[in-house]
Amino acid sequence: MSRLIKVAAAQLGPIQRTDDRKSVVQRLITLLREAHSQKAELVVFPELALTTFFPRWFVEDISTADHWYETQMPSEITRPLFDEAKKLGIGFCLGYAELTPQGERFNTQILVERDGSTIAKYRKVHIPGHEHHEPDRPFQHAERYYFKPSDEGFGVWKAFGGRIGMMICNDRRWPESYRVMGLQGVEMILCGYNTPLQYVPDPTQDPLQSFHNALVMQSGAYQNGTFVVGVAKGGVEEGVDSLADSSIIAPSGEILAKTSTSGDEVVTAICDLDWCNNYKNTLFDFDRYRRPEVYGRITAQRGSIIE
Ligand code: CDT
């Protein structure tokens, strides 16, 4: 038996500060059409796919940053993407900054089915970087100023003939993200990211960015018997070079497809969701082998306790 779905990782090159939303939506539509011409049924776009990665700048009055956020989805400007996807019968996953009617700010991703219906919204749980202005840095990573961490956790939704989960960028470095979805039987995790090649707090990590990206996603896929689709906004954006390396990873942990540029690029893979069972029903048969009774610390404490 097999449950096949062809998925596309639709990587974006840089979006500069002056690029307007309309031109970005046009780029997304071009990628969507390319994915459709390759017979993909689901296209995954990066984190904050509609704008430049604005947390690299600090503003004293956060309301002056409101223009980076979406207050509705779809909006007048993003509607053409939704219309084109529905017309082509292709689903997509899109990351954007969300400003709610209550004034809350989230780093958000939505999942849209092939019939145009929005079936899920995920808001980033692990928010990296810093809360305050750090003027000595060459650029800011003030995500903790611009986004509230979501308390909604990691859901898994029935869609595309399988069980689909979502996470965003820094979430992929945390094994708990994958495991919470693994415990809901996830078969494909969709993850957009923006990862600067320069990690200011510890430059020894700079040459390892590509390695760490692959390490965490391949491990998360294998240890939970799930596909992982990681999609970058890569290249030099406003002077900051970011990792590309978008990839589609199998439940075996093997990379099935990977981008070769740091610009707008589509790669696809045919994913048999039943492949997940080879791992879920054997080595990672959670119900048989896990020992939650000795994992209490994982939810009982946040940092390490050294006695
Ligand atoms: N966008 C995002 O979460 N980026 C982080 C950068 C490292 S923390 C400054 C990441 O985990 O890739």
Structure tokens belonging to residue 180:
């919470």
Q: Which of 123, 169, 243 to mutate to test the pocket of ligand 1 (most atoms within 8 A of CB)?
A: 169
Is 124 one of the catalytic residues? yes
Q: Which of 51, 127, 172, 193 to mutate to test the pocket of ligand 1 (most atoms within 8 A of CB)?
A: 193
**Residues contacting residue 65 through CB under 8 Å, at least 6 positions apart:** 54, 59, 146
| 43 CA → ligand 1 middle, Å | 22
Q: Which of 47, 195, 202 to mutate to test the pocket of ligand 1 (most atoms within 8 A of CB)?
A: 195
Distance of CA 211 to the CA centre of its chain: 18
Which residue type, as a one-letter code, is found at position 69?
A: Y
| 169 CA → ligand 1 middle, Å | 6
pLDDT digits (tens, 9 = 90+) for 192-210: 999 999 999 999 999 999 9
| 136 CA → ligand 1 middle, Å | 19
Separation CA 294–CA 40 (nearest Å): 42
Separation CA 279–CA 270 (nearest Å): 18
Catalytic-labelled residue, pool 113, 143, 169, 265? 169
Q: Which residues line ligand 1 (CB under 6 A)?
A: 47, 128-129, 141, 169-170, 173, 193-195
Q: What is the pLDDT of residue 233?
A: 98
Low-confidence spans in the chain with pLDDT less than 70: 1
For ligand 1, atom 1: residue with the closest CA:
194
For ligand 1, atom 6: residue with the closest CA:
195
Structure tokens belonging to residue 212:
């760490």
Percentage of the chain exceeding pLDDT 70? 100
Q: What is the pLDDT of residue 2?
A: 86
- Tell me, letter by letter, the H, E, C secondary structure of the chain: CCCEEEEEEEEECCCCCCCCHHHHHHHHHHHHHHHHHCCCCEEECCCCCCCCCHHHCCCCCHHHHHHHCECCCCCCCCHHHHHHHHHHCCEEEEEEEEECCCCCEEEEEEEECCCCCEEEEEECCCCCCCCCCCCCCCCCCCHHHHCCCCCCCCCEEEECCEEEEEEEHHHHHCHHHHHHHHCCCCCEEEEEECCECCCCCCHHHHHHHHHHHHHHHHHHHHHHCCEEEEEEECEEECCEEECCCCEEECCCCCEEEECCCCCCEEEEEEEECCHHHHHHCCCCCHHHHCCHHHCCHHHHCCCCCCC
Q: What is the pLDDT of residue 1?
A: 67
Separation CA 191–CA 188 (nearest Å): 10
**Residues contacting residue 241 through CB under 8 Å, at least 6 positions apart:** 196, 197, 198, 235
Model pTM score: 0.98
**Residue 183 and residue 223 in contact, taking contact as beta carbons nearer than 8 Å:** no
